Amino acid sequence: MFTGIVTDIGEVLELEQRGDLRARIATQYDVAGIEIGASIACDGCCLTVIATGSVPQNWFDVEISAESQAKTNIGGGGNDRSGGWQVGKKVNLERALKVGDELGGHIVSGHVDGVAQIEAMVDEGDSTRFTFRAPPGLAKYIAPKGSVALNGTSLTVNEVDGDTFGVNIIPHTKQVTNWGQAKAGDRINLEIDTLARYVARLQEWQA
Give 207's pLDDT tier (boundaries 50, 70, 90).
low
| Cα–Cα distance list, 87 to 13, 14, 91, 129, 177 (Å) | 5, 6, 11, 28, 18
Domain count, the chain: 2
Q: Is the pLDDT of residue 107 over 90?
A: no
Instruction: Summarize the confidence of residues 22-46 as an average pLDDT.
Output: 97
Per-residue pLDDT, 77: 57
Same domain assignment for residues 86 and 148:
no
**155 within a domain of the structure (yes/no):** yes
Mean of all residue pLDDT scores within the chain: 91
Contact 147, 136 (CB under 8 A): no
| pLDDT digit string, tens, across residues 63-98 | 999 999 999 999 865 444 445 899 999 999 999 987
Instruction: Summarize the confidence of residues 126-134 as an average pLDDT.
Output: 97
Distance between CA atoms of 160 and 138, rounded to whole angstroms? 12
Q: Is the pLDDT of residue 198 over 90?
A: no
> Quick check: helix, strand or coil at residue 87?
coil
Helix (H) or strand (E) holding 116: strand 114-124
Give 25's pLDDT tier (boundaries 50, 70, 90).
very high
For position 58, which CATH number holds? 2.40.30.20
| pLDDT digit string, tens, across residues 150-184 | 999 999 999 999 999 999 999 999 999 999 999 99
Distance between CA atoms of 139 and 128, rounded to whole angstroms? 22
| Cα–Cα distance list, 201 to 79, 141, 146, 151 (Å) | 29, 10, 17, 25
Same domain assignment for residues 19 and 80:
yes
Same domain assignment for residues 88 and 156:
no
Same domain assignment for residues 176 and 125:
yes
Give 18's pLDDT tier (boundaries 50, 70, 90).
confident
Per-residue pLDDT, 99: 72
Same domain assignment for residues 83 and 138:
no
Per-residue pLDDT, 78: 45
| pTM for the whole structure | 0.91
Instruction: Summarize the confidence of residues 27-45 as an average pLDDT.
Output: 97
| Cα–Cα distance list, 67 to 35, 74, 78, 85, 203 (Å) | 24, 10, 11, 15, 29
Per-residue pLDDT, 201: 66
- The range of the structural domain enclosing residue 200 comes to 114-206
Instruction: Summarize the confidence of residues 140-148 as an average pLDDT.
Output: 93
Q: What percent of the chain has pLDDT over 70?
A: 93
